[in-house]
């Protein structure tokens, strides 16, 4: 009985794709549809715009509309992305990443002046 359950689980992962925790990548065989056109609202002070994107839920792609997130000092927001690898589609979830002290969008490791928000 357990052997049948394990085989069924492995087959469903191979056929439809598999999901992992939100912080990890999602790997599926079905390409995401083209992104939908969204009107990006004007910038809001203290907020970051997260663009609409496709996610994999219930064995198909679902559109998530764009939204505003409150800015986090010392972090930068990385948008969710889809990329093709070895015949499969991989979604790396978006989220906050440490390492942008001045909030200019340049990670500290690559920023010549990481504590200067006036740098252009």
Question: What are the pLDDT digits (tens) for 41-87?
Answer: 999 999 999 999 999 999 999 999 999 999 988 788 899 999 999 99
Whether residue 78 lies inside any domain: the answer is yes
Sign of CA dihedral 32, 76, 41, 70: positive
The per-residue pLDDT for 100 is 66
Whether residue 38 lies inside any domain: the answer is yes
Using CA atoms, how far residue 9 sits from 2, 6, 15, 26, in Å, is 11, 5, 10, 17
- The pTM score is 0.62
Whether residue 117 lies inside any domain: the answer is no
Whether residue 15 lies inside any domain: the answer is yes
Domain that holds residue 43: 2-110
Q: Per-residue confidence at 18, pLDDT binned at 50, 70, 90? A: very low
Whether residue 53 lies inside any domain: the answer is yes
Whether residue 118 lies inside any domain: the answer is no
Tally of domains in the chain: 1
Whether residue 120 lies inside any domain: the answer is no
CB burial class (10 A; 0-12, 13-18, 19+) of residue 58? exposed
What are phi and psi for residue 8, nearest 5 degrees? -65, -40
3-state DSSP call for residue 109? helix
Whether residue 34 lies inside any domain: the answer is yes
């Amino acid at each position: 009985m357990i052997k049948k359950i394990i085989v069924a689980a492995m087959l469903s992962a191979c056929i439809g794709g598999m999901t992992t925790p939100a912080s990890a990548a999602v790997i599926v065989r079905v390409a995401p549809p083209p992104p939908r056109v969204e009107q990006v609202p004007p910038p809001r002070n203290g907020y970051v715009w997260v663009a609409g994107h496709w996610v994999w839920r219930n064995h198909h792609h679902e559109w998530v509309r764009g939204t505003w997130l409150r800015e986090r000092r010392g972090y930068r927001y990385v948008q969710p992305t889809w990329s093709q690898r070895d015949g499969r589609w991989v979604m790396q979830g978006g989220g906050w990443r440490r390492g942008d002290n001045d909030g200019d969008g340049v990670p500290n490791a690559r920023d010549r002046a990481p504590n200067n928000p006036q740098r252009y």
